[in-house]
A and B are shown apart, each in its own frame.
Chain A
Amino acid sequence: MKQRHIQYGASETQQAFYQSLVRRHGSPLLVVSKAKLLEQFQLLKKHLTGVSLYYAIKAFPHPEIMRILAEAGCHFDVASEGEIDLLKPLQVSGRRTIHTHPVKKDGDIKAALRGGSTTFVVDNIDELKKLIAYRSRIGVLLRVSFRSNTAAVDLSRKFGCAPEQVKELVLQAKALGVHIRGLSFHVGSQVADPDAHVAAISECQRLIEEVNRCLDNPMNVLDIGGGFPVDYEMTGFDIDAFFAPISEALAGLPGDIDVIAEPGRFLVAPAVTGICTVSGKARRGDYQWYYLDDGIYGSYSGQLFDHVLYPLQILNGGQQRFPSILAGPTCDSIDIIAEDVLLPELQEGDLLIGHMMGAYTHATATRFNSLSGAKVVIID
């Protein structure tokens, strides 16, 4: 059973900081730190040297976040027409994008090409055939399924061909005149250890070498996907220990293999803080209920869809704590942020802080109850 990390109390400076944000912008909020976002980007670049990073827009599809990353030199993973449209007003060449959705309608392919995205992903023959009409102008990555036993979000069930199918698919593509540039994989989101990445890199290296012997146009791209974890449990995460085996595996690749990655969570989760306010309270049975103005239909949707328990912070450092329930603002009983937590007595107007709230929070928020949801605020 996953434990949620709760921090009790905050310094005077911290309290003043959060309260001034709410005074200025209202509540609920998702506060994006530009500095932290850039720090995460530089950190990932440092640990994955020579790897081109394509931000998975799906993690937090906000134009300002995308602009900050674009200016820092990050590229973009687009998976829908909507994401392509979000990119258009920014000054990003299609050359700095890949279209990563393994399943596409014809309209999706055309929209991608119009946006200048010319690299696509497939994992089966039917999808490959859809690209025949565009074969003269595109490059394709073949997605292979590798599963991490520790991934919080498993993607290998839904996407990716088996490694044994790679050679046949690449040869079928060759016969159809579609150029397979390389292989891609995604071991799952929020993995606990790098083992699956390392195994996948190694297997893909072997596959590329083997299949290249039958090709006129050799494959030379390896997309290692995302899945790089963030420290939701606040237990201290040895980032060097996580990336070292991956770096080593990548260093073993031949020099002409271009490595790319699709980070989302790693870049954006630590850069965002959620702030919501106690709108009401009630004593019900053995529990003190607090009703917040954000919940699982909003920013905390990640608790349902992404299987994450965000670390919370109560500004009130009171020593006496009572069994409490933190509930969201909708009329649904399922809308509970935290069930059965020990909290000091809170007042209406008190703030609840959620940390590491950048990935799959705003991205999956609903409009249920016609609640407008957390306002996104960008700070330095």
Chain B
Amino acid sequence: MKEFQETLYDAISQDFRIDKMYFEQKTEHQHLMIFHNAMLGRVMTLDGVVQTTEVDEFIYHEMMAHVPIFAHGQAKRVLIIGGGDGGMLREVLRHKAVEHVTMVEIDSAVIDMAKEYLPNHSAGAFEDERAHIVIADGMDYVRETDDRFDVIISDSTDPIGPGEVLFSDDFYAQCKRILNEGGVMATQNGVAFFQIDEVKTTSERMGQHFSDQTFYSAAVPTYYGGVMTFAWGSDNTALRTVPLDELQRRFESAAFKTRYYSPQVHIASFALPQYIVDALG
């Protein structure tokens, strides 16, 4: 196969040339590929759908990690569900004030494979002493754990597939249970332009459990369709009204460089295009 053609949608698709195949696994359960593309760097696809690429993963990971953590301002304990490629862990750990990160990944093979074939995603994050990797079903973990967290990030796959349960009402309920007071959860919620139904569904389900439920967004070039939404759920309405100068102070004090995130982008990302506002009613 010299070309990867995404099979997410019936009438449209994006095509990436495969310049070199690093890893391919074809079983009756899934088809996973990690390959090189001249414009995108290393690309990982699962069952015909792009999961992550080296060239633009920073956008997704920075926005999912830094928006909730900087909004919170005092996050010490962070939970990541999924994120086996290590990119989310890498971004979360850049916050020196974060003392403990638990990452729950269902398949240890994903982590092993990512360490070997997508080394720039984790960039050593798995070896950080603040990182605690748990191999388990994310739904089981949030249901059973006694641990509590300030920020929960759900970095899952598509709702059609193994990640389905991470979009359920029960998942949102259990995350609320294990959030510390004033905490916030953020979840991957798809490309709204072509998947507006998923925005409505999450809004209904998550909205039952959090008094402040909305979405923020970022444009990720390789998630075809324009703007990707992230669901935001918190009972602390103050988190979304942190003024710009305070966010700037927190960002400067954190003292790391970013390539997409900035305090201005943070605030702007909550401004949703009218079609999403209309869909949310």
Measured CB to CB, the residues of A under 8 A from B are: 85-86, 88-91, 93-95, 110, 113-119, 133-139, 179, 181
Cβ contact within 8 Å between B27 and A88:
yes
Complex alpha-carbon distance, A135 and B30, angstroms: 23
With A113-B160, A136-B195, A136-B197: A95-B27 Cβ-Cβ less than 8 Å: no
Give 1 or 0 for each of B4-21: 1 = CB within 8 Å of chain A CB.
010111110100000000
Cβ contact within 8 Å between B48 and A135:
no
Chain A hits for B11, CB < 8 A: 139, 179
**Interface residue count on the B side (C-beta < 8 Å):** 23
Which residue of chain B is the closest to A88 with respect to CB atoms?
B28
Measured CB to CB, the residues of B under 8 A from A are: 1, 5, 7-11, 13, 26-31, 47-48, 160-161, 164, 194-197
Complex alpha-carbon distance, A139 and B5, angstroms: 17
* B161 interface neighbour in A85, A93, A114, A138, Cβ under 8 Å: A114
Cβ contact within 8 Å between A179 and B28:
no
Cβ contact within 8 Å between A135 and B197:
yes
With A88-B26, A110-B160: A137-B47 Cβ-Cβ less than 8 Å: no
Which residue of chain A is the closest to B30 with respect to CB atoms?
A88
Complex alpha-carbon distance, A115 and B46, angstroms: 10
Complex alpha-carbon distance, A44 and B13, angstroms: 29
Cβ contact within 8 Å between A85 and B47:
no
Complex alpha-carbon distance, A196 and B30, angstroms: 40
Cβ contact within 8 Å between B7 and A95:
yes
With A85-B28, A91-B1, A91-B26: A136-B47 Cβ-Cβ less than 8 Å: no
* A93 interface neighbour in B5, B29, B195, Cβ under 8 Å: B5
Cβ contact within 8 Å between B10 and A179:
yes
Chain B hits for A138, CB < 8 A: 10
Which residue of chain A is the closest to B3 with respect to CB atoms?
A93
Query: What distance in Å separates the Cβ of A98 from its nearest Cβ neighbour in chain B?
Result: 10
Which residue of chain A is the closest to B49 with respect to CB atoms?
A116
Interface centre among B8, B27, B48, B195 (most CB of A within 10 A): B48
With A113-B160, A116-B47, A116-B48: A136-B194 Cβ-Cβ less than 8 Å: yes
With A88-B30, A114-B161, A116-B48: A93-B7 Cβ-Cβ less than 8 Å: yes
A sample of 29 inter-chain contacts (CB < 8 A) reads: A85-B28, A85-B29, A88-B26, A88-B27, A88-B29, A88-B30, A89-B27, A90-B26, A94-B7, A95-B5, A110-B161, A110-B164, A113-B160, A114-B47, A115-B47, A116-B7, A116-B47, A118-B7, A118-B10, A119-B10, A135-B197, A136-B194, A136-B196, A137-B9, A137-B195, A138-B10, A179-B10, A179-B11, A181-B10
Which residue of chain B is the closest to A86 with respect to CB atoms?
B28
